[in-house]
Amino acid sequence: MWWMRRPLSTYSFSRITTFEQCPRRFRYRYIDGVREAFQGIEAFMGRQVHATIEWMFEQREGGHLPSAAEAIEHYCRVWDDALSSGEEEVRVVKQDRSADLYRRSGAAMLEQFHRRRFLPDRLETIANEHHFRVRVGGRHDFQGFIDRLARGDDGIVRVIDYKTGSRTPRTFSGKEADQLRAYALALFLDTEERQLELVLDFLRSGKVLRQRIDRADAQEVERELAERIDAVEESTVFPPKPGNLCAWCGYNDICDAWQPRVGRAGVA
């Protein structure tokens, strides 16, 4: 039996979902402080794509409109720099894939994003990678990073989240939508905005999902978010939840629930 020594000082959406997906992984990471042995290539690629999009808008705000070729050149550079730093192992889990395939996939997303989103964009950027920290339900500190905040001609602030994964929901729903609603709540708590537009931009498929939310909607979001954090803090055991995602878990080498499939993973 594993006991939570003390509540975490601050929660994030990823911490909450980690607990809900696998309490054992949550324990390793946030209670025991064990560093993951590796990160999956999908997450690594996503970080480099996000860093490049942030760079693109920073360049635009500075007076330079980067071309698609410049954006991809920057992406390749940050990819190489991150990989060569050796700070952590990057692993290709899917047997029939290669690191270069993921690298090219990220470049293709950026080329499409540059053409379909970046060049036509007329929103006024408020912030990229906006960090927030707020008090939720009067009892929990909640923090996170928002990919982009931008205001339209209608005065409404867009809360934009870029997704590089293969999953694209049909409607504004699921954990991606829950995450943006939680971020909207943080903005309502931290600003005087009365309405926000939530934007999920799925870079692989090119699909964009939108939903507007006001302060009245955010009250229910706050209640649900506080209850989810309560569930984490009230937990006294942290059992594993074996499943398909175990292959991507950086703790599978120390988890007794892990059953590896021979020949499945490789190193980038």
**CATH code of the domain covering residue 205:** 3.90.320.10
Average pLDDT, stretch 65-89?
A: 95
**Percent with pLDDT over 90 in the chain:** 89
Average pLDDT, stretch 140-157?
A: 98
Q: 128 lies in a domain?
A: yes
Q: What is the residue type of 90?
A: V
Q: 199 lies in a domain?
A: yes
255's tokens: 């988890």
Which H/E stretch holds residue 177? helix 174-190
Listed in sequence order, the residues at least 6 apart from 58 whose beta carbon sits closer than 8 Å to its beta carbon are 128
For residue 150, the SS3 value is strand
261 & 184 share domain: no
What does DSSP assign to residue 11? B
Q: 253 lies in a domain?
A: yes
For residue 204, the SS3 value is coil
Residue 103's φ and ψ, nearest 5 degrees, are -60, -45
Q: Mean pLDDT, the chain, as a whole number?
A: 94
130 & 106 share domain: no
111 & 134 share domain: no
For residue 69, the SS3 value is helix
Q: 4 lies in a domain?
A: no
Distances in Å between the Cα of 225 and the Cα atoms of 139, 153, 231, 260 are: 11, 31, 10, 34
State yes or no: pLDDT of 3 exceeds 50. no
Q: 237 lies in a domain?
A: no
State yes or no: pLDDT of 78 exceeds 90. yes
221 & 136 share domain: yes
The whole domain housing 187 covers: 124-227
Q: Which residue has the tokens 């996000």?
A: 50
CA–CA distance, 12 with 179 (Å, rounded to integer)? 10
Q: 238 lies in a domain?
A: no
Q: Tell me the whole-structure pTM to 2 decimals.
A: 0.92
If one counts the domains in the chain, the total is 2
47 & 82 share domain: yes
250 & 198 share domain: no
Q: 57 lies in a domain?
A: yes
Average pLDDT, stretch 123-131?
A: 97
72 & 169 share domain: no
State yes or no: pLDDT of 264 exceeds 50. no
CA-nearest of 117, 119, 114 to 52 is 114
